[in-house]
Structure 1
Amino acid sequence: MKIQNPFRLGLIGTLGVGLGILILTSIVSLSTIITYIGAALFLALGIEPLIAFLERRRFPRWLALIVTLVVILGAFVALVWAIVPVAVDQASQLVQNTINWVNDGDAEKWFLSLQHQFPGVINDSNINAVTQWLQQNLPDITSKVLQTGIGIVQGIFGAIIVIILTIYFTASLPSIKRAAYQLVPASRRARVADLGDQITDSVGKYVMGQFALALVNGLLSAIFLTVIGAKFPILLASIAFFFSLIPLVGTITGSVIIVAVCFLSGPPTAIAAAIYYLVYMQVEAYVLSPRIMNRAVSVPGALVVVAALAGGTLLGILGALVAIPFAAAILLIVKQVVIPRQNEL
C-alpha cells in the first residue's frame, strides 16, 4: 500500500494514541467519582422495587417516591440514632477494657500461659523478634493509623455524596432508562427495553435480598449475643449486619471478628458464639439465601463465586456487590439473545 502523506498519517496516529491515553488517564483520575455514581445507581435500582410496589397499590409515582424515601431515610436516621451512641460507647469500653487488661497484668499472665502451653512456638527469641519489628515499624504503623482516620472522614463525605446521588437517580430513573433506550435503533428498541427492565428488576431485587439477609443476621446476632451474656452485643450485631452486606465472604469475616471479641467475655462465650455462627452460616446458605435470592437472580453457584471474586478484585466491596447481578444480566442476555440467534443459524 502506497502512503500518500506519511506526515499526516503519523500525526493522526499520534493524536489518536494521545487521545486514548488521555481518556484512560481521565478514567483513572475519576475512579472515585465513578465509584460514587455506580454505588448510587446500584442503590437506586434497589429502591425501585419498593416504589413499584406502591405504584401497584395505585400510588402516583411522585407520592410513592416521597413515601419510600421518607421511610428509608427515617429508618436510617432512627437506626443511626439508636445504634451509633451504644456502639460508640461499647467500642470505648472495649478499648478501655483492653488497656486495663494489659495494665493489670492479665495480658502478661495470659501470654505466659500460652508460652507454657506452646514452648516451641512462643519463646524469648520470637518475642524479641516481634518487639524489634514493632520498634522498627512504629512510625509506619502510626502513619497508617493517621491515614485510616483520614479515610474514615473521606468515607463519611463519600457516603453523603452517594446518598444525594441515590435520591437523584431514584427520582429520575424512568427518564434515565428512556433516554438510554433512545440510543438503540427503533427496530430493536422494544426488545432492548424489555431486557433492560428485566436486568434492572433483578438488580433491585438482589439489593433488597442482600439487605434482608444482613438484617436477619444483625437481629439474630443481637438476640443471641445478649442471651449468652457477650460483651458489647449491639456493637457486635452492627458488625454482623454491615459485613453481611458483602456477598460470600462477609458473613464469615464478621463471624470471625465477633468470635474473637467474645473471648473477652470468656472462652465458653466464644465457643458458644462460634457454634452459633457455624450453624447460622449453614442455615443462611441452604435455607435463607436460596429462598430470598432465587427470586432475584438465578446464577449457578460456581459462577457466583467466580463473579464475586473477580468483582472484589477489580472494584473492592462495590465490585463484589455488583458482580453477581452483572453475571445474572450476562446470563439473561445469553439465554434470550445469543442462544436464540445461534439456533436460527
Structure 2
Amino acid sequence: MAKPIITLNGLKIVIMLGMLVIILTGVRFAADIIVPFILALFIAVILNPLVQRMTRLRIPRVLAITLLISIIIVAMVLLVAYLGTSLNELARTLPKYRSSLAIPLLQLEPWLQRAGIEVSVEELLKYIDPNAAMTIVTSLLAQLSNAMTSIFLLFLTVVFMLLEVPQLPAKLQQIMVRPVEGMGAIQRALDSVSRYLVLKTAISLVTGVVVWVMLLALDVRFAFVWGLLAFALNYIPNIGSVLAAIPPILQVLVFSGLYDALILLAGYLVINLVFGNILEPRMMGRGLGLSTLVVFLSLIFWGWLLGPVGMLLSVPLTIIVKIGLEQTAGGQSIAVLLSDMSHH
C-alpha cells in the first residue's frame, strides 16, 4: 500500500468526524444547489474524453465542446417533447384504467386468498381515482417544461467545466503540498469514475434498447418511454432495473391480463439476468473495488443525502470517497472495509 499522504492522530480524527457531520448536514440542506453542480461535474467527466479525441483530430477545443453540447441539448429537447406527448396520451387513457383494472384484480383475488391474503377488489377500486392520476400527469407536464431551463443552465455549467480542464492540473499542483502523490490520486479517481460511467452508460443504453424492442414485439403501448425508463434507472445499482419493470408490467396487467403480464415479467427477468449478472460484471471486472454490501449501503446513503441524483451516482461518488480515504493514515483502514476482497 502506498505511503499515506496525510497522517492523522486520534484527536484529529474526532475533529474531522465532527466536521464531517456538519458538512453533511450543510450538503443536505443545500442539495438543490449542490446536486446540479455534481451532475454537471460527472457529465463533464464523461464528455471530456470525447472532447480530447476531437481535439486530436485538430478540431479546436471550443468548437468540439460546442458541437457535443449542441447535439445533446437538441436530443434532450426532442426527448422532452416526445415525453410530453406521451404523458398527454397517457392522461387521456387514464379514465379507462379503473374499469380495466377490475378484471386482472378479480383474476388475482383467488391466488391471494389461497396465500392467506384477504383482499377485496371492490375496496381496492375505491382507492383508484383517475382524476387524481390526471392531476399528477398534468403536474409532470408542467415540471417537464420547467426542466428545460434547468437543463440549459446545467449544460452551460458543463461547458465552463470542460473549458477549464486544460488549466486544472497546473492549478492543482500549485496548491498541493505533495503534488505528485496528490495528482496521482486524482488521476486514479478520474480514471475509475470515467471508466465506470462510460461502461454503465453503454450497458444502460443497450438495456434500454433491448427493453424497447421487447415491448414493441409484445405490442405494449409507450414502449419507448418504458425503454427510456429502463435506461435511466439502470444507473441505480441493485434496484434500478426492478423499479423500471414495474410500470410496464402493471400496464400490461391492466390492459392485456395476467398471462401477458407474466410473459413480460419473464422477459424482464431474462434481460436483468443477462445484463445485470453476466454482462455487466464481466465488463466492469475488478475496476470498482467496492463490496456488494458497500454498493447497496452507498445507494441508501447518497440517496438520503442528494436525492434521486445521489442514487444514480452512488457508485462513482463512493469510488471517489474510497480513493480519498486511501490517501490518509486514519482513512486507509476504512478504505479496506469498503473494498471488495473476494478476488484476493
TM exceeding 0.5: yes
Between 1 and 2, higher relative CO (CA 8 Å, sep ≥ 6) is seen in: 2
For residues 31 and 312 of structure 2, the distance between their equivalents in structure 1, rounded to whole angstroms, comes to 17
1:66 equivalenced with 2:63 (yes/no): yes
CA offsets per residue over residues 299-345 of structure 1, 9 Å max, x none? Answer: 22222122222111111122223332232234334556649999xxx
For residues 192 and 182 of structure 1, the distance between their equivalents in structure 2, rounded to whole angstroms, comes to 11
Residue type matched to 1:258 in 2? P
Residue type matched to 2:39 in 1? A
Per the alignment, residue 241 of structure 2 pairs with: 251
1:315 equivalenced with 2:306 (yes/no): yes
1:149 offset after TM fit, Å? Answer: 6.1
* SS of residue paired to 2:175: coil
For residues 237 and 25 of structure 1, the distance between their equivalents in structure 2, rounded to whole angstroms, comes to 36
CA distance 1:299–1:73, shift in 2 (3 Å)? farther
For residues 260 and 287 of structure 2, the distance between their equivalents in structure 1, rounded to whole angstroms, comes to 37
Q: How does 1:32-181 map to 2 (within 5 A)?
A: 32-54=32-54, 58-60=56-58, 63-64=60-61, 66-67=63-64, 69-71=66-68, 73-74=70-71, 77-78=74-75, 80-81=77-78, 83-84=79-80, 86-102=82-98, 105-107=99-101, 121-123=118-120, 127=123, 131=126, 151-181=143-173
Per the alignment, residue 4 of structure 1 pairs with: none
Q: Which region of structure 1 is more displaced relative to structure 2, 234-243 or 67-76?
A: 67-76
CA contact (8 A) 1:87 1:234 kept: no
Residue type matched to 1:77 in 2? V
For residues 24 and 146 of structure 2, the distance between their equivalents in structure 1, rounded to whole angstroms, comes to 24
For residues 229 and 146 of structure 1, the distance between their equivalents in structure 2, rounded to whole angstroms, comes to 26
CA contact (8 A) 2:45 2:194 kept: yes
For residues 148 and 30 of structure 1, the distance between their equivalents in structure 2, rounded to whole angstroms, comes to 24
Q: Which region of structure 1 is more displaced relative to structure 2, 214-223 or 65-74?
A: 65-74
For residues 301 and 165 of structure 1, the distance between their equivalents in structure 2, rounded to whole angstroms, comes to 33
CA contact (8 A) 1:40 1:163 kept: yes
CA contact (8 A) 1:46 1:208 kept: yes
CA offsets per residue over residues 18-45 of structure 1, 9 Å max, x none? Answer: xxxx999986764322222111112111
RMSD of Structure 2 on Structure 1 (CA) = 3.9
Q: TM-score, normalised by structure 1?
A: 0.72
CA distance 1:23–1:217, shift in 2 (3 Å)? closer
CA contact (8 A) 1:203 1:296 kept: no
1:235 equivalenced with 2:225 (yes/no): yes
CA distance 1:167–1:183, shift in 2 (3 Å)? same
CA distance 1:23–1:320, shift in 2 (3 Å)? closer
CA contact (8 A) 2:102 2:125 kept: no
CA contact (8 A) 1:229 1:269 kept: no
Q: Which consecutive residues of structure 1, in runs of 5 or more, have no partner in the other structure?
A: 1-21
For residues 106 and 300 of structure 1, the distance between their equivalents in structure 2, rounded to whole angstroms, comes to 45
Paired residues in the alignment total: 307
* SS of residue paired to 2:237: coil
Per the alignment, residue 264 of structure 2 pairs with: 273
Per the alignment, residue 207 of structure 1 pairs with: 197
Residue type matched to 2:303 in 1? G
For residues 39 and 301 of structure 1, the distance between their equivalents in structure 2, rounded to whole angstroms, comes to 24
CA offsets per residue over residues 102-152 of structure 1, 9 Å max, x none? Answer: 4xx54556666666876883449x73x985x899xx99x999888766654
For residues 106 and 142 of structure 1, the distance between their equivalents in structure 2, rounded to whole angstroms, comes to 16
Q: Which consecutive residues of structure 2, in runs of 5 or more, have no partner in the other structure?
A: 1-21, 334-344
* SS of residue paired to 1:280: helix
* SS of residue paired to 2:60: helix
CA distance 1:118–1:180, shift in 2 (3 Å)? same
Residue type matched to 1:286 in 2? N
CA contact (8 A) 2:192 2:288 kept: yes
Per the alignment, residue 10 of structure 1 pairs with: none
Per the alignment, residue 208 of structure 2 pairs with: 218
Quick check: which one's helix share is greater?
Answer: 1
Q: Which region of structure 1 is more displaced relative to structure 2, 25-34 or 168-177?
A: 25-34
Per the alignment, residue 193 of structure 1 pairs with: 183
Residue type matched to 2:277 in 1? Y
Rg larger for: 1
Q: TM-score, normalised by structure 2?
A: 0.72
1:196 offset after TM fit, Å? Answer: 0.9
1:161 offset after TM fit, Å? Answer: 1.4
CA contact (8 A) 1:182 1:189 kept: yes
CA offsets per residue over residues 36-62 of structure 1, 9 Å max, x none? Answer: 21111121112122234445xx345x6
Per the alignment, residue 3 of structure 2 pairs with: none
